Chain A
């Protein structure tokens, strides 16, 4: 590959920006693994993000299955209480910091430049740094398996996480994970913001930007707003543990509640960081497969921004049972209620998008349509939890476990799988197997509901979360057995998709440039896209530029297959 520079700033004498490509000279292209190690290409970084995050997804899933095995029957003896607390902590931390948040960056990395008609991210090297920081964070964290994993949950509440109670280095590994993945996300977020603000195709005004790009933009701003708080908090925890400070230590004049405020000031926006891009993904998929424009584009984009803003104001609804005055509880109940309005708007707009469509039932649509169906359950239970007197009963029980999995698995992960099935042909040039895809969907869908629906009832019967054992006379034995069976179904469903990916990567049907009749610019380029993405960046005239291009081609009387740009030489 030649070293190329996008001298986008070459302003002509008339002051208009004129993109130019300047070649300084030819360097031999690194081959094999070195090419991947040194790459700054957003698509290769995106692929590496996908591979890394899915490995962590599998690891986190295995941790969950061990926990479910332990809980299948009362008085389980599979793991010790310490190991169980370790599994709780690693599962939560892995899924949040090493899977859902970075996999959204994977989608963003690969598809934001393609969707906005850019040739790469604004800062390709920062982009590589972002990925390698994530890998370092994952390694630093999983290295704790060789000494002692953290045992304070993904929330690491003080004083439990202080050195007096958990002197092992697991908590320190967790702290470094937060710092490294936090930096990774922060650098990535700045990169997304710079890219989206500055590198959109000619004609792509804010009102014509794909909704997925909107969601990544908001995701990035939320990360920038929330991450510094947690970075400060874990640094304070680190000095509490090792350098004799007492920020959170009540015996030294500190305050354990401070940790909870700082943690959740980050932690709740983090939930929207994880869910908004999934909303963005299905806002792309639903219109394509119902052959209809998205219903209420402006409403969905505005709702995304509103959710993000309100998401910064609801953190203490995680703290309804702490010693806090009633007026504060009321404020956070009302702010949490308020966030249900824009979320509801989104769901109604998605249904309206399907309404009077001509819905093509391909695998991406299955996963995309399942998202609102499952998320609405998590949304409704979220409103129930926001009513703080009710929360006093439900807080920290399996009801909350069920709620958060309906939001983060039923919402985020089904969205991620929808995106994977939708964009796999673009990334690899090959189609995934529809049969395996639909099988995977149904096994996952049934397994997911078996696992988590009954957990509502377990929580209502008084089963707290994060316990390695429960009494037979608590009346939750059946729920737990059903949940365990469901979790293994869910695992098999995920495994079928993994097999599908591995098989289709080599043997899938050749996809062509635009297998789904997509609406956005990534379908304009070849599959997989060439290194420079676009030889010619098309002018964008609507929110569905590919539809316009198809229409023009049809008008010119050319076959529909010739829509995408011609194959660039040398790729």
Chain B
């Protein structure tokens, strides 16, 4: 039987940092998370529209209206 391949320590460190970032994001206050969701919408909308999907980026108090909305 072949030995299980081990991860490069640098990759392990990167994956651990990624996991820590996800946990930090999970701990943000809800309004900050909603702002992050709207930023994700702004990034994803052009790709989804190019695929023919109709999406609308939320209009959030205190955030500028994104281009194309």
A, B in one complex:
no
